[in-house]
Amino acid sequence: MKILKFPLARITIWFVLGVLAAFYFEPIPLLSLILCGVSILLFGTAFYFSGKDFIQKSYFGYVTYFVFFCIGITTHAIHNERLSKYHYGHKLDGHTHSVEVVLLEKLRSNPYNHRYIAKVTAIDSAIAEGKIVLQVKKENLPQDFPVGTRLLITGTIYEPQAPGNPHQFDYKKYLAFKSVYGQMYADVSTIQISPKKEKNIWYYAADFRNTIIKNLKDSGFRNEELNVAVALILGQQQDISPELMKDYQFAGAVHILSVSGLHVGCLMLFIGFLLSPLPKSKTGNILRLAILLSFLWVFALIANFSPSVTRSVVMFSFVAVGKYARRKTNIYHTLLVSVFMILLFEPSFIFDVGFQLSYSALFFIVWLQPLFSSLWQPKNKIGKYFWDILTVSLAAQMGTFPLSLYYFHQFPGLFFITNLLILPLLGIIMALGVFVMLWASFSSVPSFLVKCLEWSLYILNKIISKVASFESFVFQDIPFNWQMLVTCYLLLFTAVFWLKKPNFKKLAFALASIILFQLAYLGNRYFTKNHEELIVFNAKRNTIIARKKGEQLTVFSHQELSEQTINFILKPYLVGSFSRIASTEKIGNLMYFNQNKILVIDSLGVFPKSQRPDIIILSQSPKINLERTIQDAKPKMVVADASNYRTDVERWKITCLKEKIPFHSTVEKGFYSLSK
């Protein structure tokens, strides 16, 4: 593969490996700096001994890679806020404190709370730092707080909880990837609002966005279309309804709501068109470049420097420099430089799903689209236009297909129809939208412009909703783990290598990758069929126990399983464990698993004294004397699920500690499982 022959490609790969190593091993900054210093000394030594012919010296290349590996480690260590002595994480003691914060970003609200990313500045008047998720009750709060607001909150910072059930979305890890390690809940009565705001670039960017939105509302823009316009142009998805977001997901068009290369490319073309009257001289080109770069980076600021926006703006900035400097740019070099520069300043972006998806899509478009395009050459411009849309869409979907299955376990089968229908309209919407947003930044927009944009977005939403209505073409709940992810990408790469330049060696690699993918799939199926497990799920106000035998899951519950329980508790486990629900039954008092006798004591508090269970499961807050029960039964383990009152669980925990019996609360520790 030619791209791997670029020195920059190998340097970037080793830099990324360094970032990953630092994330998982978390070396202290001092050790990272020492390691980086040693590597630079080795680099200087290797350079000295290589002389003028250092390119031919293999050891110089190895030392260079080691230097960038160390730079990756150091970069992540420097950006790891938890390593600072002032980080609030050192003060997470579960007690109430007086916490001073500044609001940085507004998140999507839920039915009960306004949600923000906030920067901690002080705890009990002592200097502190770090980011938290702040949730403020909507009750008695007429409107949400603007970005930049300073708040003094009396409350507790909690560490985000790990998922309570197997294979659920790990919100704690998701926040950690964004350098957020705590969250806080507050209501109006515990908050003091400072009259002074922190007026940094985030404040002015949010104020600029709010001005645009206010002027558009004053111009009569309908809410649903306005929310989509704000997402498309300004990168703010917080106010899009869950139903509309679901339609975009099912139609395979959710990517257009995340400002990315498509949007930035349209913006660059539009600004370039506005600057076309400038003279085509050296001075004119410099002026064009300066104005264009200014617009791109102001746009990135307004869109809150999200990973996809940052990636796109960095990449198109290099494209713009090459264009106006009249230098031929290599798109692969541009991609690599943008990856390196972004991760150098924000290494946590490597873990962002949007960042991974956008780079995968862009790389496959650059790599595969010319191959697909060469398969057929339409004779007219209209046919070529739609053929290019189809080939670009196919290349992008091939690049993101494994990641989409791994993260979301679903695939929209009608994505190509969606793109054929909406991409021509999207170009018009983007051009008109940028113009309307620029106008709205100064004053109200004329009614005819508002109606043009509003109706364009209305048609877009209707197309999306219609395509999404064919739910049978949306393949959901597809089991896909990391082994299948790796082998699927290996299969894609080897297959494309063989298609581009067929020979026996490449065919052998492609066939071998097919076998590896099959082994990954069959290996998981074999493990599933030979694996038995008993799980006590963490389900509020309910007791759910499941026994998995091979691919079949028998679910025991006191209550009928609701759709919410199935979707949020059982379905992630079913997908992650390659299994399905075979039957549902009422919970009995006695169960057996792997030579363990399990006694379930529910609200009736029935305990047959003749039984000698190995495990006792307490559910629905039974009125029992646990100390006496333990002395009679002598169990090896006591488990309390989430259907019990918290006060009862705390009392039982103390009793088990006194009796020296292991105690597991699913509310505190998550699900409990036994495997065979």
- pLDDT > 90 fraction of the chain, expressed in percent and rounded: 28
pLDDT tens-digit series, residues 540-597: 888 999 999 988 999 999 888 888 888 889 999 999 888 999 989 998 888 899 889 9
Q: Is residue 300 part of a domain?
A: no
Domain stop point among 26, 53, 79 = 79
Q: Is residue 418 part of a domain?
A: no
Q: Is residue 637 part of a domain?
A: yes
pLDDT at 181: 92
Q: Is residue 65 part of a domain?
A: yes
- 512 and 613 co-located in one domain: no
Domain that holds residue 509: 482-528
Which residues 6+ apart lie within 8 Å of 379 measured at CB? none
Query: Most confidently modeled of 357-366, 526-535, 640-649?
Result: 640-649
- 124 and 149 co-located in one domain: yes
- Residue 230: pLDDT band by 50, 70, 90 thresholds? confident
- 54 and 143 co-located in one domain: no
SS3 386: helix
**Cα(315)–Cα(631) distance, integer angstroms:** 69
- 70 and 102 co-located in one domain: no
In the chain, the number of structural domains is 4
pLDDT tens-digit series, residues 247-257: 888 888 777 77
Q: Is residue 524 part of a domain?
A: yes
- Residue 293: pLDDT band by 50, 70, 90 thresholds? confident
- 122 and 57 co-located in one domain: no
Contact 180, 132 (CB under 8 A): yes
- The full length of the chain comes to 676
If you average pLDDT over residues 523-546, what whole number do you get? 90
- Residue 513: pLDDT band by 50, 70, 90 thresholds? very high
If you average pLDDT over residues 283-308, what whole number do you get? 80
pLDDT at 491: 94
- 134 and 16 co-located in one domain: no
Which string of DSSP letters, residue by residue, matches 239-306?
A: TS-HHHHHHHHHTT-GGGGS--HHHHHHHHHHHHHHTTTS-SSHHHHHHHHHHHHHHHHHHHHHTTT-
Q: Is residue 19 part of a domain?
A: yes
How many angstroms separate the Cα of 30 from the Cα of each of 37, 74, 75, 78, 445?
10, 9, 12, 9, 55
Instruction: Assign residue 556 the CATH number of its domain.
Output: 3.60.15.10
Q: Is residue 391 part of a domain?
A: no
- Residue 53: pLDDT band by 50, 70, 90 thresholds? low
Kindly state the helix (H) or strand (E) to which residue 113 belongs, with its residue range: strand 113-123
CA dihedral 618, 619, 621, 623 (to 10 degrees): -50
**Cα(617)–Cα(597) distance, integer angstroms:** 11
- 553 and 583 co-located in one domain: yes
Which string of DSSP letters, residue by residue, matches 549-564?
A: ETTEEEEEESSPPPHH
Nearest to 306 by CA among 254, 361, 261: 261
Kindly state the helix (H) or strand (E) to which residue 115 belongs, with its residue range: strand 113-123
Domain stop point among 16, 46, 79 = 79
pLDDT at 54 over 50: no
Which string of DSSP letters, residue by residue, matches 579-640?
A: -EEEEEEE--SEEEETTEEEEEE-TT----TT---SEEEE-S-----HHHHHHHH--SEEEE
Q: Which residue has the tokens 């909406």?
A: 422
pLDDT at 150 over 70: yes
Which string of DSSP letters, residue by residue, matches 353-364?
A: HHHHHHHHHHHH
pLDDT at 131: 93
- Residue 245: pLDDT band by 50, 70, 90 thresholds? confident
**Cα(272)–Cα(583) distance, integer angstroms:** 63
- 620 and 541 co-located in one domain: yes
Residue 137: both structure tokens together: 């009750």
pLDDT at 433: 84
Contact 403, 356 (CB under 8 A): yes
What average pLDDT does the structure give for the chain? 86
Q: Is residue 100 part of a domain?
A: yes
- Residue 2: pLDDT band by 50, 70, 90 thresholds? low
Strand order in the sheet with 637-640: 590-593, 596-601, 615-618, 637-640, 663-665
Instruction: Assign residue 128 the CATH number of its domain.
Output: 2.40.50
**Cα(485)–Cα(117) distance, integer angstroms:** 32
- 494 and 582 co-located in one domain: no
pLDDT at 242 over 70: yes
If you average pLDDT over residues 274-300, what whole number do you get? 81
pLDDT at 646: 92
- 550 and 507 co-located in one domain: no
Spell 9-33 as b/e; 16+ CB within 10 A means b. Answer: bbbbbbbbebbbbbbeeebeeeebb
- 503 and 567 co-located in one domain: no
Domain stop point among 31, 49, 79 = 79
- 537 and 655 co-located in one domain: yes
